[in-house]
Structure formats: structure tokens, C-alpha cells
A and B are shown apart, each in its own frame.
Chain A
Amino acid sequence: MERTRRSSPISPPSEYDKGGSEDFSALRRLLLSPEQVQLDRLRQRLDTFVVGPQEVSRVLPDAIRLRARQDNRLLASMLPITQEALALSIKQSPQLISDSLAPILGSAIRKAISRAMREMLQSLNQTLEYSMSWQGLQWRWEAWKTGRPFVEVVLLHTLQFRVEQVFLIHKKTGLLLNHVMAEGISSQGEAAISGMLTAIQDFVRDSFQQSQDEGLESLRIGDLTVWIEQGSAAILATVIRGAPPVKLRDVLQNTLESIHAQYSESLQHFQGDDSVFLETRPFLEDCLQAQFVKKRKGLPVAFWVLSVLLLALLGWWAYQASLNHQQWTELLKRIAAEPGIVVTSIQEEGGRRVFHGLRDPLAVDPERLLEEVGYPPHAAGFHFEPFIALTPEMVYTRALKVLQPPESVSVSLDGDRLMLMGKSSHAWMTRVDQAHFSIPGITEVSMERLIDTDVKQFETLREDLEGQTILFLAGQGRLTDRELVKIQQVKHILQELDKKAMQLGREPSIYLMGYSSPVGSQSTNVSLSEMRAQKVLEILSESPFQVLKLSAIGKGVDPDVESVAAEGQGYSASRRVSFKVVEPKITQTREVGARTGR
């Protein structure tokens, strides 16, 4: 109104009145009279002009819009009034404000809480699900090793994909309009990252001569993917861990489109003030999606492995128990059948089964039985008192142990009679004769079928000796060289015989009987035969004998001279010395007694 008044072309009339003359005034009245009236009316109207509400209401909306576009002075002027009005309104009628805000705030709060709860529950579920499993233990180990929280390790392993960060970037300047992060992600200079993402896009676009509308769509490093959605004025960059599904692209595109639709003006005229884009947060939060690996339905592998192990263990235990039982039964059977062992009781002592009873020292060692049946030695013990068993087996064993027969002798037991068969030395037979009394259970030893090898050899030597003849020439007591050699052989036989007789405890007498041919007189022949016997005795007596007693006897004319002569040998065979072994009767009797036993 002031401006209107200042810019009016009409000056106050008083100024003209002062400077003009009467004539001029008259002239002016004549010339401008009608216009003057109009001007006066106009001035009067302007002086009394008041802008009414109606006029203001017509221009106000446009005026505010124009002014707001021009600068923010209107906003600055209105801000304190609006704030005061709002404060007053809240003070006076809080219900009204509360009712008005409830639909907006309620929904927002509900959404925020449910989101927070969902994230928390998901994280809790994941943690619980894996905390007690084998996998969980491995992850715990990994967490401990890497120093990261267990929850984070679980998340990394069970994650199929998760949008970790969302950047809303102004396309032209690369400035960050808004940014949201998933829970647990730490911020790391988003403003610079935002710029760098834009720069990299420019770099790639320039390097490969792509048009301005083209842009990078995705970057990938390790299990991290950056998906970039290009809008006309803004870019939506999402940092995703894992393998995102294609449908996530739709979500991102829709989000960017919604933001463009709602903030088109702000994006176009963006001058660096990002406060207006704070409201885009819900849009961006909708992009913070995640999907976790579904745990396999059914029982986990660990369960099966454990079951198999358990079954195997059970099977092994059952097998061991059965084997143990079998071994025990076998052991009982063997011990019961074993001669020389009498079990009186079996007692459990300190986790061992201890056998009590009697055991012949010659019976088998029970520890060996354990070994043979495979029963664990630590599970059994023996406490046996010694005794002498009179079972045939033990009597037989004891006899063998005491007598120790040579291999050429077979031993058998017939009741209480020990039967010996085969060949043995005279010494062993003598020992049997003396020792069998000390073997309990044996009352008689039969040696009828036992050949005394020493006696046999003695007899052979005797026969050999008695078959020998030393021949002399007719009418002489002299020996030829050939006969001297024969005498040496006889001497050797005698030595063997002497040795054997000593072994047998015999003292045989050897008669050297001299003979002569019938030629010549009786007396000559007798003395000749004595001379001959004496001659051989002399030679044979050169070396002494232990037990043999040699004596020379002159027998005179050979009684068998006729039969010898008839054989065509003449009388040469009669001029000889023969041998005869003679044993005393008493020795003979003792030997017979030893052979027959008692």
C-alpha cells in the first residue's frame, strides 16, 4: 500500500497551489476540470483503500508459492509463528494433535518395532539353531580363532544373501542423499564411498565410451556384490553379501521409481541439502532384505553318524558280551574236564571271578587255559590248594614224570598196574624197579614185554665168544699168526663182555677149554690140551678184566672128534681151545625178579 502511494504520478495539489498564479489556476480549471474531478475521486479512493480478506484470499496461495521459490525468507518469517502455534495447540488440546499424529506415528513405530524384533528373533533363532550342533561347535571354534562374535560367524555361514547397505546417491554430483545399513554393519565413510561409486561409474563409462544413460549395474568382489540401479536423477546402490535373487532387482527398481516419483522436484533442484531426503529412509529400509539358508528338513547328518556309531558300539558290546560268555562257558568246561583240578567254588572278588579248589601240581596251569579259551586274564583268578590226584590220567602223568621212560618204551596203565613195553637199558629197568613204589596209585609194574637191551647184548657177546675156537698145529702148543689175530678178536669180545657184565652186575666165569686130537697117548693129549688152554689164557690175561674170571681147563681129546672128522676136516679142528661162559646161579635169580616185578 505504501508502494502504491509512493509510485502515484499525482503529487499533492498543495504543491501546485503554492507555485501557480491565479490565472494559471483558472486556465487549468477550465482545461482539466473533468479530469480533475476524476483524479480527486481516485485520490480519495486510494486514501481510504483497505485490502479486504477477499482480495488477499485470492492472491495468497500464489503469492506464497512465488515467494518460496524466490528465497526462504517467507519460511523464516513463518517458522517462529508456526512453532509457537503448534506449541500452543499441543498445550491447549493435546488430544487433537495426538489423534492427528496417531495414524502416522503408530504405523511408523509399529513398523520399526516389528522390524527390530524380527531382526533380533532371526538372529536369536540362527544362534540357537546352530549353537549346540556339530556345525555350531566348528563355528564356535572359528569365532574363537578369529575373535569375531559367534552370532556374526553364524550369520555369515547361514546367509544366502543379505543387503547390508543401501546408498541413495545424487546422480549428477555423486553426493549421498541417504544411507541405511543392516544391523551389525559399521559405517565407513559413506559420503566418500558414494562419491567413489559415482567416479568409478564415470571411469568405466568414459573408458568404454558408453553414453551418459548407461551405467554400471553390478560390481562383485568375493561374496560381496554391489548392485547399482540407475534412475534419471538418483542412483540406488546396494551392497549385498551372498547370492541375491533376481527378484531383488525388482524391489530395488520399484524403490528407486517411488523415490523419483515422490522427490522429483527435490532431486532436480538439489543443492546439497540432504535433509529433505531423510524421509526416504523407509523406502531404503525396505531394500534391506535378507534370506538365510533353510536348515535341512529331517535329521542332521551328525544324528545319523552318532546313531551308526552308537549302534556299532552296541553291536560291539553285544558281541563282546556274547564272546565273553562263550569264553567263560568254555573255560568252565575245560577246567571241569581238566584232570588234577577240582573247583569247589567260584567267587566274585574285586571285579574278578576267582576259582577256589584243589590242584595237582602236575595238572595243567589254569592261566594257560585262560589263554587258550581267550578269556581276559584280568577277569579271572585262581586260588587252588595243592593235592595229589589219583585219577588214571594223573597217575599216568605222574608215572611218566617220575620214571621218564626212553622213547623206545611205551607206557600204559591198566587199573593200578603200569604196563611197560619195548626196549630199555638195564639201568632204567633197575630204576623202575626201585622207583615205582613212590608213585601213588601204582601197585605193580609189568615188565614182561620189556626187553633188556643190555642182557640181550650180553647174550649175543656170549654166543659170539662161545662160537670162537683157536686152532693149534698137530702135537704143538704153539699158535700160528692167523690164530694170534683170532685171539685178538676174542680178546676184544671178552673186553665187551666184561663191560656188559659189569653193567648187569654179573660176574661170569670164562672157561678156556683146551682139546687135542685122538692122535697120541691119553696123557700126552691131556697135557697138550692143558698147555693149549694155558697158552690162550696167557695171551688173553695180558690185559686184566673187571669182572670176568678166566680159567684154563685141559679137556684132553675132543669128545666131538668123530663128527668133526666125518665132516672131512680131519683132526685139525680138534686141536683147539673153545670158550664157555658160566654164571653163578644167584645172579640169575635177581635178574628174573627185576623183570617180573612184584
Chain B
Amino acid sequence: MIQKKICMLGGFAVGKTSLVKRLVSGIFSDKYLTTVGVKIDKKSLSVQGKELLLVLWDLYGDDDFQKVRASYLQGSSGYILVIDGTRKETVDVACKLHDLAQKTIGPVPFVLLLNKHDLVDEWVVECPMVSDLSDQACFVSMVSAKTGEGVEAAFSALSEAMLKF
């Protein structure tokens, strides 16, 4: 079996944990996020006929209280960058985190997820704002943690990209 380490990155409360909650199997509680700064879950999926095990490092959101630890990014084969469509400032955080990831682990594939699609009426983030990131991402999708829309596809896209990389 092939294993890949991927990281979930994004600002505070953009919905990283909620996005993957229904898809992964984990044994650790959410309190690890605020203490150690990371919670690890796993997800099995089949890509191109291959069994793949994604070891998902859910990193605690970047805020004034806790910075994402670069060391947690080490060894990642890809990452998922999450932006909250209703909060403009999360775009900046995503850009910052993207830079950190690229600097730490190199140009590995990543997917860009614009969360809270279920609240699309309240969106303040517009396409030009994220065009830089969209161009670099191997997959961009609008998702909803509430409905689970688009998340599975994002995992598959990232997995394919990582296998090709």
C-alpha cells in the first residue's frame, strides 16, 4: 500500500476539521489541535486502481495565538489549503501558509478549497483575490463542510496529483 502524508492548512476557523470529519477515521480528539497544534487522521481511498492511505495532518489554524509549526509540514506529499468564503482575511492567511509550505516542502501539489459554499450569499471572497493561488493549485473547488459537497473529489484530485508528481 502507498501512504502519503498530507496537511490541512488554513486560517483560524475556516472549517478544516469539519471538512474532513465525515470522511476520515481518527482516534484522537480535537483537543490535540489546540494543545499540540495538530491532529492526525487517516483516510483510505483508491486512485487509479491503487490503494492509497492518506495520513492527514490537520494543523491548527494560523492565528495570533498559535502559529503553524513548519516542522509539521516536513515530509508532506501535498496539502489542502482552505479559505473561508465569508471571511476575506482568510485569503491572506492562506497565501502566507502557501508560501510557508512551498518554502518548507517545495513545490508539492496542493488543492485550494473555498469553504462555506452553503453560505454563498454571504461570500465576500471573489475570484480575482484567489487567482494567484488558483493558478498554482492542482485543483480548486468550492466546498461545504455542512453538506460535504466537493470534499471527496478534492481528496481524489490531490491523490492523483501526488501520484503523478
**Chain B residue contacts of A274, Cβ below 8 A:** 1-3
Contact bitstring B76-88, A, C-beta under 8 A = 1, else 0: 1100000000000
- How many Å from the CB of B23 to the closest CB on chain A? 14
**Residue from the set B1, B5, B53 with the largest chain A CB neighbour count within 10 Å:** B5
**In the assembly, what is the distance between CA of A202 and CA of B26, in Å?**
20
- Asked if B72 contacts A199 (CB within 8 A), the reply is yes
- How many Å from the CB of B5 to the closest CB on chain A? 5
- Asked if B25 contacts A195 (CB within 8 A), the reply is no
- Asked if B2 contacts A173 (CB within 8 A), the reply is no
- Asked if B42 contacts A202 (CB within 8 A), the reply is no
| Contact pick for A192, options B1, B2, B41, CB 8 Å | B41
Is B142 on the interface with A (CB-CB < 8 A)?
Answer: no
- How many Å from the CB of B137 to the closest CB on chain A? 21
- How many Å from the CB of B80 to the closest CB on chain A? 16
**In the assembly, what is the distance between CA of A271 and CA of B38, in Å?**
22
- Asked if B74 contacts A191 (CB within 8 A), the reply is no
- Asked if A174 contacts B5 (CB within 8 A), the reply is yes
- Asked if A199 contacts B57 (CB within 8 A), the reply is yes
Nearest CB in chain A to that of B75: its residue: A173
**Chain A residue contacts of B25, Cβ below 8 A:** 189
**Chain B residue contacts of A205, Cβ below 8 A:** 71
**In the assembly, what is the distance between CA of A189 and CA of B42, in Å?**
8
**In the assembly, what is the distance between CA of A205 and CA of B74, in Å?**
14
- Asked if B5 contacts A195 (CB within 8 A), the reply is yes
| Contact pick for B55, options A188, A195, A202, A273, CB 8 Å | A195
- Asked if A191 contacts B69 (CB within 8 A), the reply is no
- Asked if A170 contacts B27 (CB within 8 A), the reply is no
Which A residues from 157 to 196 make CB contacts under 8 A with B? Answer: 170, 172-176, 188-189, 191-196
- Asked if A172 contacts B74 (CB within 8 A), the reply is yes
- Asked if A192 contacts B26 (CB within 8 A), the reply is yes
The bracket for how many chain A residues form the interface is: 20 to 34
**Chain A residue contacts of B69, Cβ below 8 A:** 202-203, 206
Which B residues from 36 to 74 make CB contacts under 8 A with A? Answer: 36-38, 40-42, 53, 55, 57, 69, 71-72, 74
**Chain A residue contacts of B37, Cβ below 8 A:** 199, 203
Which A residues from 125 to 165 make CB contacts under 8 A with B? Answer: none
**In the assembly, what is the distance between CA of A191 and CA of B57, in Å?**
11
Is A83 on the interface with B (CB-CB < 8 A)?
Answer: no
- Asked if A176 contacts B3 (CB within 8 A), the reply is yes
Is A100 on the interface with B (CB-CB < 8 A)?
Answer: no
- Asked if A188 contacts B5 (CB within 8 A), the reply is no
**Chain B residue contacts of A273, Cβ below 8 A:** 1-3
- Asked if B28 contacts A196 (CB within 8 A), the reply is yes
- Asked if A174 contacts B2 (CB within 8 A), the reply is no
- Asked if B71 contacts A206 (CB within 8 A), the reply is yes
**In the assembly, what is the distance between CA of A335 and CA of B42, in Å?**
96
Which A residues from 228 to 267 make CB contacts under 8 A with B? Answer: none
- Asked if A196 contacts B75 (CB within 8 A), the reply is no
- Asked if B77 contacts A199 (CB within 8 A), the reply is no
- Asked if A191 contacts B42 (CB within 8 A), the reply is yes
Nearest CB in chain B to that of A202: its residue: B71
Is A39 on the interface with B (CB-CB < 8 A)?
Answer: no
User: Interface on B for A, CB 8 Å cutoff?
Assistant: 1-5, 25-28, 32, 36-38, 40-42, 53, 55, 57, 69, 71-72, 74-77
User: Interface on A for B, CB 8 Å cutoff?
Assistant: 170, 172-176, 188-189, 191-196, 199-200, 202-203, 205-206, 271-275
Mind listing 10 A-B residue pairs with CB under 8 Å? A170-B75, A173-B75, A173-B77, A192-B41, A196-B32, A199-B38, A271-B77, A272-B2, A272-B5, A275-B1
Nearest 5 Cβ contacts at the A-B interface? A173-B75, A195-B40, A172-B75, A202-B71, A189-B27
